Structure 1
């Protein structure tokens, strides 16, 4: 322990007398700059909150933490440079590279925070399509991350032309090795640009057992919440090879029913048909601009069948069933008002009269 203290003391003695003064001065200057930034931020924050223009809020909040980090990290690299340069008496070129990387990292940090803030703000307004906003935000973040990565590589002395040439060959190899991952990525792009569905839509596929509400559309997979509240994770590449039905984009919902009238009420069928059609045409929740059919359809085994084919104005599932219930109850009223009734399954059994026994069949001959 004493030997370690002796070596540390001798090392400090070899440093120039002014190294500690410079480092302390730089640290003090960093602290003053950080305090000044905090004061400026605290003054600007209530001012920008009062403005109707929201971009200043988003920009200021994006700058808060990265600027504080830059205020401390940049002087720290200068202090490290002073200590090491005085010790080794040589130029430290890697420190300039470190400072360059620090600036790039802070810039990317600010941009990513700004994009995230804009995304959250736009989604909170609920005036834009959530899927489109998320897609634009993801693509923008990806673009800046790629630009930042290329800039960092160039800072290390790598040739971008050679890197891009190598990337073409390497991209082919990676593409073959990760074809499923790339298929999911491009499947996600297809969903974002073609927009067969968006977050919140109810979708189902006749080809696969996929049905539920879209909860999230990612780069690799889409999360569908089934109606029994189980999450279903579907790779995006699946949607490029299956048929997807989107009931959420229906313009109307259909009521398609067949009701049976008793055969003994055949004289009232015409009046029942016209009464039901008139009722539907006057119903406030029925879209009369769509197909509306009420016809005597067929002779059933025990009923005279009347087909009802019409569309509701609402597409909401719960409201649709309320309208359908009201329509069916009014159909019953029309049937009863015309002196008819709904038939129920019946069977008619025809029994032939038994033959009268002959006299010979009643006489028992005893021995």
Structure 2
């Protein structure tokens, strides 16, 4: 009995015979092209690894996965069109739109992967400032993402002129709603342009409890690792309203110490100060071009105080303390060479004896 269900299955059988072979052929060709691309990319990678030019590796790495995806997705859309053209009565123009979107997506994907590969290669060579490289890479990524988004919207039939007109009003609404987000974004831009610090710098703020090493400067926040290894996530907008100190950009480190001599060594103070100053001027790790002062400073409660004010050539925190230790040990040797000594807190107690009563 010829029922509607039987006629429907008969129709599907005829249609499947019509496009089934084509789909199998397209799938087989896709597999062959994909195998060919895998072999070609592997061969190109082997050749690129043998060259001293590193940018060819970045290009091949950027192309490898997106091209493989395109090899499978484009024929898949053709196969879907063959399956649906005799089944669906409606227009299949949306498949053409989807193909265009696929091309835009693959192109932007390749560009983003290429930017990432170039960024990693430049940072690996350590010839450029890390913060500047990351900032340029982020800006280029953002530009291409916006271009891809606008191209996709135009492909979908949206009017860019109308969108830009709406963007004037919509931008105001979004700006009010996302005020903090935008302030953090522009705060990050100012960090990139003004460059008060970069990744790897030691920074601190006397206005806030912020001190540590900059790990990452993002669009919204900056990650600072404190010296006890705790991460601080600081919104970029904060840096526009606080004072930031960057000790990593110090030219020298200062030694400022006050040393007390015994009052019994008062006649030796001048010679000690002269020898200490001479020692500092000849010390290989002291920058004699900077301010260098060694002077008697004050009559202390239990010592004659002189101070040392000088700068080291190194800015490294660990090595600075080694230099400072060496300077202080040499100062102590000079004091001992003059048969003097460093004072320690003392008190002199004067006892007055009461007169004996007169005998009558």
TM range (shorter): over 0.9
Partner Cα distance (1:21, 1:282) in 2: 91
Q: Deviations over 1:219-251 (max 9, x none)?
A: 111111111111111110000000000001100
1:106 has 2:106 as partner: yes
CA offset at residue 11 of structure 1? 4.4
Q: Please name the residue that 1:294 is paired with.
A: 294
CA offset at residue 36 of structure 1? 1.1
Q: Please name the residue that 1:364 is paired with.
A: none
Partner Cα distance (2:212, 2:359) in 1: 78
CA offset at residue 7 of structure 1? 8.0
Tell me the matched-pair count. 358
Other structure's SS at 1:71 match: helix
Q: C-alpha root-mean-square deviation of aligned residues, in Å? A: 1.7
Q: Please name the residue that 1:272 is paired with.
A: 272
Larger radius of gyration: 1
Other structure's SS at 2:349 match: coil
Q: Please name the residue that 2:235 is paired with.
A: 235
Gaps of 5+ in 1: 361-367
Gaps of 5+ in 2: none
Other structure's SS at 2:87 match: helix
Q: Deviations over 1:53-77 (max 9, x none)?
A: 2111100111001001101100110
TM-score by length of 1: 0.94
CA offset at residue 358 of structure 1? 3.3
Residues 141-180 of structure 1 mapped to structure 2, 5 A cutoff: 141-180=141-180
Partner Cα distance (2:263, 2:7) in 1: 114
Partner Cα distance (2:58, 2:68) in 1: 17
1:281 has 2:281 as partner: yes
Q: Please name the residue that 2:23 is paired with.
A: 23
Q: Please name the residue that 2:335 is paired with.
A: 335
Q: Please name the residue that 1:207 is paired with.
A: 207
Q: Please name the residue that 2:186 is paired with.
A: 186
Asked whether the equivalents of residues 16 and 86 of structure 1 are also in contact (C-alpha less than 8 Å), the reply is no
CA offset at residue 258 of structure 1? 0.6
Q: Please name the residue that 1:353 is paired with.
A: 353
TM-score by length of 2: 0.96
Q: Please name the residue that 1:255 is paired with.
A: 255
